[in-house]
Structure 1
């Protein structure tokens, strides 16, 4: 407890240093910058503004209230990260949930790490740090990857190194952005999983994507069933049919007259089945090695 009190007192001392107009630190080379940058400082909540580069757009109200309750009891355990904007003005880089929850419980200050960064560096820090979080939904992650590519001009290879993910993983997330916005919202809201989305993205027409998405939700299709439905779609089959329903096979009219003749010729019951499109198979049973040799001789002449 004494160690925590000492650290808090140190943070307040650094906070006082930052409020001194004669010590307005603007760069890492300024006087006393080494005492502040990278250290935990108690900052006034009203001196901090929300980061416009924040990739996270969904904040679960219930989870936020739970965090607020924890902060009320234990305080802010993990400091937020901010960048210095102007004299006694800061902008969030990461920790917006902690920032919001602290405001909810009426705190006046919050422990923070101070960084000095330009807009591009701030964007990159916010995006990369948020990508590492466990509670981002797949679409938020995909959007963060896309922003790093578009606004920081990172290639997928460099992005892979920066965030510590395989390039194939990044590609799979980015492909989700090709889904219709309705389906993206469904993934964010938990109606379907990323696995469903990865299957649906193989359908080019947005309306067909939506039709199958509605079937997934309505029939509670698994990812495997969805993959099968997409395969059926690619083969020209009706999307409205259950993907697990087997294509009905019947003896085609064009073969009915020949079945009896083949059966008589081979002296064994032959089955001919075909789908509505005419694709099918002939089944010729045999009952022993000798029977097989007999059929082979009849069919091949040798």
Structure 2
């Protein structure tokens, strides 16, 4: 394959380069004390969330014994230095109240910065599913790679990368549940099988609330899709927008029951429609209604 696109080197070479970043011989390389104020994170760092407890523990260690392993940086084209490897040590040093940190300056091009930012975290399994998906997306866009080319560069299968990239199409609210580890990647992937995108948020909330397994969620997705398929197609007609209080009431009811709810009002009267997709789903809703009655007594 031509080197005009992509990283131009194999995965073995990339991992060797990354291993070399952490395998520093302080006797052969010049270690400098660099002000923390002159440092900024790798702009291609895919990890957005750092474990606060782990950082505090590392900060305590640094207060007691200092930083054993120098971080790796490059000179910034704007000002100061950019961190190539060692952002946790950098953050922990700031928490520890340090003013400087030992560092080694190396020359790295933009492509190498992207590579290291992703490989460092993939090798240590530090990324959440969404962060990993965003890292693949970033590499593909910035280096003009296809999924096949990226899979060859990283040693991952194309379906593996494709499954992660699909997570990026989830609604923002569901992405937050994945990022907060309330939804697993398996659950998130299952939700993507829904034919109606508007049902994804509802079923995601229900999965969290009812602590559904992936298998249970798969069954529900199948029921939802089958139920929608059986619905007769109605002739579309323009309806007047519902008042805000009606829409808010629908949303509250949908959050409670984990399914579609519609309120129809006319001349001060109306009806509430609660959708269910199977007899089990109906039983679940009736149990919720009975629970509400019992609480009111």
Same fold (TM over 0.5): yes
1:245 is matched with 280
What TM-score, normalized to structure 2?
Answer: 0.63
SS in 2 for 1:245: helix
2:96 is the counterpart of 1:61: no
Provide the aligned C-alpha RMSD in A. Answer: 3.0
Q: Distance in 2 between matches of 1:87 and 1:52?
A: 12
Matches within 5 A, 1:205-216: 205-216=196-207
What TM-score, normalized to structure 1?
Answer: 0.62
Matched-pair contact (CA < 8 Å) for 2:74–2:106: yes
Larger Rg belongs to: 1
1:101-141 per-position Cα deviation (integer Å, ceiling 9, x unaligned): 01111233333343312334323332332333322110000
Matches within 5 A, 1:179-258: 179-236=170-227, 240=259, 241=276, 245=280
Deviation at 1:66, TM superposition (A): 1.9
Q: Distance in 1 between matches of 2:139 and 2:195?
A: 25
SS in 2 for 1:111: strand
Q: Distance in 2 between matches of 1:220 and 1:211?
A: 14
2:73 is the counterpart of 1:73: no
Listed as ranges, the gaps of 5+ residues in structure 1 are: 1-6, 16-40, 249-302
Listed as ranges, the gaps of 5+ residues in structure 2 are: 1-24, 232-257, 260-275, 284-297
Matched-pair contact (CA < 8 Å) for 2:38–2:81: yes
Deviation at 1:234, TM superposition (A): 1.6
- Count of matched residue positions in the alignment of Structure 1 and Structure 2: 215
Q: Which has the higher contact order (CA 8 A, sep 6+)?
A: 2
2:199 is the counterpart of 1:164: no
Matches within 5 A, 1:11-22: 14-15=30-31
